[in-house]
Structure 1
Amino acid sequence: MSEPLNIRPTVESDFVDLTPQGLRTVRRWAMSITIGSFLFGFDTGIISGALLFIRDDFGLSSLQQSSVVSVLLLGAVAGALVSGRIADRYGRRPLLAGLGVLFFLGIVVAALANGYWMLLLGRVILGLAVGGVSATVPTYLGEMAPAQIRGRVLSLNQLLITIGLLASYLVNWLFAESEQWRGMFWVGGIPSALLVLMCLWLPESPTWQITHGRTDRARRTLDKVTEPGGADLVVARLDDTDRAGEQDGGPSASGSGGVRALWAPAVRPALLVGVVLAALQQFGGINTILYYAPTIMGEAGLSASNAIYYSVFIGVVNVVVTVVSVYLVDRVGRRPLLLVSLVGMGISIALLGVAFSAELTPVLMLAFMMLYIVAFGVGMGPVFWVLLGEIFPPAQRAEGSGAGSTVNWFSNFVVSLLFLPLISLIGEGPTFWIFAVVCALGVVFVAKWVPETRGRNIDEVGEDLHRRWNAPAA
C-alpha cells in the first residue's frame, strides 16, 4: 500500500488518514491484546479433556463434574460485571495486565489442587480473569480500530478464542495418554505471562486518555499511526461529543454515568440488542458442544483418548471457519452473517438430536457437530463480539460491553450447569431440539431488531437502532 487510508472520522477511534505503517501498527496492537482472547478460549476449553481424568482421581459425581465446568462461568459473570467500571476508572491496559496476573494465579491453584474444593477455587479465579478479558478486549479493539477495518479487527477476538480452544484440545490430546491433567493446566501459564508482558508495551486507548484529560499522551499514540493533523481531528470530535452529552443532560464522554446510563432511552436499544444476542449465543447450544464434546462422544461409545482426538477436529473446523468470517464480516455485513448462522445452527443441532435419538454412528454425530460449528463460527461466534464493540456510544462502551459479557457468561453458566442433568432427565435428542428452537427465535430477533453496523459511524448505527426500536434519538 502506498496511499494512506482516508477513513471517515468516527467517535469510536477517529483514526483518520492512517499511514500504511500506522495500519500495520494497529494490527500489531490488536493481535497482541488478543492474547487475552486466546486465554479465554484455552482456559474454558482445557477442562473438556481434563475432566475425563479428574472425575476418576477425585471421584466426582455428575453434579460435581458440571460444577467444575460451570463455576468458571459463574466467576466470569462477576469478572465481566465489574470490568467495565474498572476499565473506565483506571484504563484498559492496566486492567488487562492485572487480568494476566489473575490468569496465572488461577492456573497455579487449579494445577496444584488436592481435591474438589481447591479445584473449584482455581476455576473461580480463572473465571474472573476470563470474564474480565471478554468485556475489555472488545472495548479496547473497538476504540483502537478505524471503521474501515473495525469488523476484521474486532473479529480477531473470536478468532483467538477459537485458536485458544483448539490449543486446549491439542494439549488435552498430548497429555491424554499419560492422563496428566495437571500438565494440561500448567501449559496455560505461558500465555498468561505473555499477556502481562504485552501490556507493558501496548499503548492505552486514546479514547480513554482523551476523555480523562490525558490529551498529550493520546496525541503521541495517534501520531504513530495517522497523517499529520489526524490527532487533532480525534481530539476535536471527542470534545464535541463530550459537550453534546452535557448539553443533552446525559453522561458525557468523560464519564459513563455507570450502569444506570445504559437504561437511558437513547442507549437502551443498544443494551437490549447486546444482552439478547449474548443470551442467544449461549442458549443456542454452542458451549455444550465445545465443553462437552469428549463427554458426548464418550456417551456414543468412544474411549476417553479417542473422544479427545475427535474433539480436535471440532477445534480445527472452528478456527478455519472463523478465519472465513474475519474475511467476510467487513464485506458481507453483520446481519446477513447472523441470519445465515442461526439458520444453520438450528438445522444442524436438530439433526444432532435426531442422530442421538436414532442411535446413529459416532461419525455421523461428529459430522453434525462440525456442521453446527461451521454455522456458529461464520456468524454468531465472532459477530456477537463485533457488535458488542460497535453498538454502544463511546461514553457507555465499556459498561455496555461489560453488561453484554455478563449476560453471556451467566447464560453460559446456566446452560453448562443444566446440560448433563437435562440429558439424564429427557435424553440427548430432546435436549438438542430445545437449542434448535432457540436458534429459530434468534432468527426472528435479528431480522427485526439488530442493526447493520458495517461501514457506519456511531451516529448512523444509533439512528438505525432507534428506528428499529421506535426509541427517541440520542
Structure 2
Amino acid sequence: MIYLIAAIAGLAGALFGFDEGVIAGALAPLRRDLGIDPVAEGMMTAAVPFGAFIGAIVGGRLAAAAGRRKLLLWSAILFIGGALLSALAGGLITLTLARLVIGLAVGVAAMMAPLYISESAPAKERGMLVSIYQLAITLGILGAYVVGYAFHENWRWMFAMGAVPAVLLFGGIFALSDTPRWLAMRGRSAEAKAALARMRERPENDPAVAAEYEEIRAAAAADEGRKATFADLLSPRVRPALIVAMGLFLLQQLSGINAVIYYAPTVFELSGFSSTTTQILATAGIGVVNVLMTVVGMMLIDRLGRRLLLLIGFTGTAVSLGAIAIAAATGSPSLGVLALAGLVLYIASFAIAIGPLPWVMMSEVFPLDCRALGMSIASLVNWGFNFIVVFSFPVLVAEFGLAGVFGLYAVVCVAGLAFTQWLVPETNGVSLEEIERHLRSGRPLRELGRLHAA
C-alpha cells in the first residue's frame, strides 16, 4: 500500500519534471512561431519557477489547516488548467500566464508530495520512498524530451500532453486519505489510527501499529495548540533544521541543474552539435541517464545514508562541470565529446544525491509543528534560485561564455562538499519523532547520525 501511495503522490513530481523539461523541445518552434527574443524567452521559461515560488508560500500557509491531500487535489486541477491553457495560447503573454499557473501547481505539489510520502512511510524505508518523488521528476523530464522529439514541430501538443498525468494525479489522490500525522495533529485520532493501519496493511490492534501510532500521537500532543511562526523557525530548536533544508536547496539550484534541464539543447549547440534533431536526441540521452541513476540513488539512500551520497554527488558534479569549463575555455576540438561525457557524469552524480536528498531531508528534519512552514521556506529558496538560474543562464552565457558559467557552477559544488561535511546530519533509519526529540534536546543536529548509530 505504501508503495502505491508513494507512486500516486510521485505523479506530482512527474508533472514538475514534465513542465521543466518540455520547454527544451518547445523553444525552437516557439521562436519560429512567436518570434521571441532572449529576454522574453527567459521570462516565459522562468514563469514556472516564479509561479512555484508563490505556490510554496501559499502551500506553507494552508498546509496545516487544509491538509496534504486537499492541496494535492487543488494542485492537480491547476496542472490540468495550465496545460490546456498553454496548448491553446494565442500569444506570448497568454503562454507566460499559463506557465505561471503551472508554476503555482508545482510550488504547492512540490511541498505536499514529499511531505505526504514522508509522513506516511515507515522510518526504515522513508528515504527510498520519498526518493520516488525525485524519480518521478526524472521520468517527467524524460517524458517531456520524448514528447518534444515526437512533436518537435508542434509546441501546442507538447504542452497539452501535460494534462494526462495531472488527471491521473487527481484521481489517485482523491481515492486516498490524508496522512496519519496530519490527522493526529488535527485531533482526528480514530481516522489517524485507521489510516496508519491501512498503510501498514495490518489490523488496527496489531502491536506494531499501536506502538507506531502512540509515538505519532505523543508527538502531536506535544505540539497541540501550537501554530508555527517565522520566529519558531529561527529559534535554537528549529534553526539548525532550517539551515540544512535551505542550504541543500540553495546548493542544488546553484549547481546549475535547471540551466542544464531547461537549456540542454542550447548547451549542445554551443558545444558544436549543429543538428536540432541531434541536440534533442543527445538531450533525451541525458534524460535516460537521469532516470537510471536516480533509481541507483534510491537503492543506495537507505544503505549508504544521506551524508555519504551527498559527498559523492558534489564531488562528481564539481569534477564534470570543471572539465566542461576547462574544455570550453581552451577551445578544445573535442569540446562536443567532452561536453556530452561531462554532462552524463554531471547528471549521474546529481541524480544519485543532489537531486533527491534535499527533498528527502526537507521532509525529515523539521519537527511536526513547524514542518509545513519550514518546508515552505526551504521551497522558497529552491524556487527563488531556480528562477534566478533559469532566467540568468542565457544572459550569463552571452556575457561570459559556457566556460565561465559552468566554472561558477563547479565552485558551488565544491562549497557543497564543505556544507555537507560540517552541517548535514545523518537521518537514515531515524524516525521523524526521534529527530524531533533530538532537536528539542539542544544537541547539535550534526550529531544525530552518530548518536543513532551508537
The two structures have a TM-score, normalised by structure 2, of 0.93
* Range moving further from structure 2, 102-111 or 395-404: 395-404
Q: Report percent identity of matched pairs.
A: 37
Of Structure 1 and Structure 2, the greater helix share is in 2
Alignment of 1:467 onto 2:447: no
Instruction: Provide the rounded CA distance (Å) in 2 between the counterparts of 1:274 and 1:396.
Output: 13
Indicate conservation of the 8 Å contact 1:85/1:258, yes or no.
Answer: no
For 1:313, the equivalent position in structure 2 comes to: 285
> Which among 262, 274, 287 is matched to residue 245 of structure 2?
274
Q: Deviations over 1:247-270 (max 9, x none)?
A: xxxxx2564413332122101100
Task: For residue 298 of structure 1, report the CA deviation from its aligned partner.
Answer: 2.1
**Residue 121 in structure 1 maps to residue 93 in structure 2:** no
C-alpha distance in structure 2 between counterparts of 1:105 and 1:281, whole Å: 29
Q: Cα distance 1:427–1:322, how it changes in 2: closer, same or farther (>3 A)?
A: same
| Pairs within 5 Å for 1:68-87 | 68-87=44-63
Q: What are the equivalent positions in structure 2 for 1:153-164 lying under 5 Å apart?
A: 153-164=129-140
Query: Which amino acid in structure 1 is aligned with residue 185 of structure 2?
Result: T
Verify the 8 A CA contact 2:120 2:180 in the aligned structure 1. yes
User: Is the CA contact 1:339–1:443 (under 8 Å) kept in the aligned structure 2?
Assistant: yes
1:172-226 Cα distance to aligned partner (Å, 9 max, x none): 01111xx001100111111111111111111211111111121111222122223
Displacement of 1:241 in angstroms is: 2.4
Deviation at 1:56, TM superposition (A): 1.7
Q: What are the superposed Cα offsets for residues 435-468 of structure 1, whole Å, 9 maximum, x if unpaired?
A: 1111111110110000001112346545388425
Q: Secondary structure at the match of 2:364?
A: coil
Which sits farther off after the overlay, 230-239 or 290-299? 230-239
1:84-123 matches, within 5 Å, as: 84-123=60-99
Hey, what does 1:233 align to over in structure 2? 211
Correspondence list, 1:372-383, <5 A = 372-383=346-357
Q: 1:131 aligns with which of 107, 112, 119?
A: 107
User: How far off is 1:396 after superposition?
Assistant: 1.5
User: The residue matched to 2:407 in structure 1 has which SS?
Assistant: helix
Q: Which residue of 2 aligns with 1:438?
A: 412
1:336 maps to what in 2? 308
8 Å contact kept, 1:215–1:235 = no
Contact in 2 for aligned 1:269/1:466 (Cα 8 Å): no
Task: Choose from 252, 257, 264 the match for 1:286.
Answer: 257
The answer to whether 1:384 aligns with 2:358 is yes
User: Are 2:253 and 2:385, in contact at CA under 8 Å, matched by a contact in 1?
Assistant: yes
Deviation per residue, 1:36-63 (Å, 9 max, x gap): 1110101111011101110121111111
**2:346 matches 1:369:** no
Query: How has the CA–CA distance of structure 1 residues 298 and 272 changed in structure 2, closer, same or farther, with 3 Å as cutoff?
Result: same
Whole-angstrom distance in 1 between the partners of 2:221 and 2:364: 21
Among residues 93, 117, 121, which one is paired with 1:141 in the alignment? Answer: 117
Q: Is the 8 A contact 1:138 1:401 kept in 2?
A: no
Match in the other structure for 1:249:
none
Retained in 1: the 8 A contact 2:76–2:167?
Answer: yes
Deviation at 1:230, TM superposition (A): 4.3
Contact 2:196 2:213 in 1 (8 A): no
**What is aligned with 1:26?**
2
Aligned-residue offset at 1:235: 4.2
- In structure 2, runs of 5+ residues without a counterpart are 449-454
Q: Is the 8 A contact 2:114 2:359 kept in 1?
A: yes
Determine helix, strand or coil for the equivalent of 1:389: helix
Inter-partner Cα distance in structure 2 for 1:311 and 1:117: 28
Q: 1:421 aligns with which of 379, 388, 395?
A: 395
Q: CA deviation at 1:74?
A: 0.5
**1:21-45 deviation per Cα after TM superposition (whole angstroms, max 9, x unaligned):** xxxx111111111111110101111
Alignment match of 2:380 (pick from 402, 406, 412): 406
User: What does residue 38 of structure 1 align with?
Assistant: 14
Query: Which amino acid in structure 1 is aligned with residue 281 of structure 2?
Result: Y
- Counterpart CA distance in 2 for 1:183 and 1:291 is 18
Distance in 1 (CA, whole Å) between partners of 2:244 and 2:75 is 27
Q: Distance in 2 between matches of 1:417 and 1:70?
A: 6
- The 1-side partners of 2:185 and 2:130 are apart by 22
Kept after mapping to 2: 8 A contact 1:77/1:410? yes
Q: Distance in 2 between matches of 1:131 and 1:382?
A: 16
State the distance in 2 between where 1:253 and 1:319 align.
41
AA in 2 matched with 1:394: L
Of 292, 296, 317 in structure 2, the residue corresponding to residue 345 of structure 1 is 317
Distance 2:123 2:224 in 1: 19
Partner AA of 1:54 in structure 2 = L
**Considering only aligned residues, what root-mean-square deviation do their CA atoms show, in Å?**
1.8
The one-letter code matched in structure 2 to 1:36 is A
Is 1:448–1:468's contact at 8 Å kept on the other side of the alignment?
no
How many pairs were matched up?
438
- Deviation for aligned residue 1:391: 0.7
Matches within 5 A, 1:122-271: 122-176=98-152, 179-224=153-198, 225=200, 226-227=202-203, 228-244=206-222, 252-253=223-224, 255-271=226-242
Give, in whole Å, the separation in 2 of the partners of 1:458 and 1:420. Answer: 41
User: What is the CA–CA distance in structure 2 between the aligned matches of 1:328 and 1:130, rounded to whole Å?
Assistant: 27
The alpha carbon displacement at 1:304 in A equals: 2.0
Relative distance call for 1:301 and 1:231 in structure 2 (3 A) is closer
Given the two structures, how large is their TM-score scaled by the length of structure 1?
0.89
- Extract unaligned runs of 5+ from structure 1: 1-24, 245-251
Matched, 1:354 2:326: yes
Q: Which amino acid aligns with 2:58?
A: V
Q: Pick closer, same or farther for the CA change 1:123–1:317 going to 2, 3 Å.
A: same
